[in-house]
Amino acid sequence: MTDKPKLNPLLKLALDLGPLVVFFAATWRFDPIVATGIFMVTIIAALAVSYALTRHIGVMSIVTLIVVLVFGSLTLYFGNETFIKLKPTIIYTLFGLTLIGGYVFNKPLLAIMFDAAFHLTEEGWRKLTLRWGAFFLVMAVINEIVRQTMPFKFWAGFKLFGFMPLTFLFAILQYRLLTEYASQQPNPDAEAEREEV
**One-character DSSP codes across 153-192:** HHHHHHIIIIIHHHHHHHHHHTHHHHHHTB-SS--HHHHH
CB 74 within 8 A of CB 97: no
Question: Pick from 113, 118, 120, 167: which is nearest to 140 by CA?
Answer: 167
Determine the length of the chain: 197
pLDDT value of residue 185: 61
- Give the CA-trace dihedral at 150, 152, 156, 161, to 10 degrees: -30
* Spatial distance between the Cα atoms of 153 and 142, rounded to a whole number of angstroms: 16
* Spatial distance between the Cα atoms of 126 and 51, rounded to a whole number of angstroms: 30
pLDDT value of residue 189: 52
**171-195 in b/e burial notation, b at 16+ Cβ within 10 A?**
eeeeeeeeeebeeeebbeebeeebe
Task: Give bridge partners of residue 182 from the DSSP assignment.
Answer: 120
pTM equals 0.82
Per-residue pLDDT of the chain (197 residues; tens, 9 = 90+): 445 677 777 888 888 889 999 999 999 999 999 999 999 999 999 999 999 998 888 888 898 999 999 999 999 999 999 999 999 999 999 999 999 998 998 887 887 776 556 678 888 888 999 999 999 999 999 999 999 999 999 999 999 999 999 999 999 999 999 899 887 665 545 554 444 44
pLDDT value of residue 192: 47
pLDDT value of residue 197: 44
Domain extents in the chain: 9-196
* Spatial distance between the Cα atoms of 166 and 29, rounded to a whole number of angstroms: 26
Please list, in sequence order, all residues whose beta carbon lies within 8 angstroms of the beta carbon of residue 6, skipping any fewer than 6 positions away. 54, 117
pLDDT value of residue 106: 84
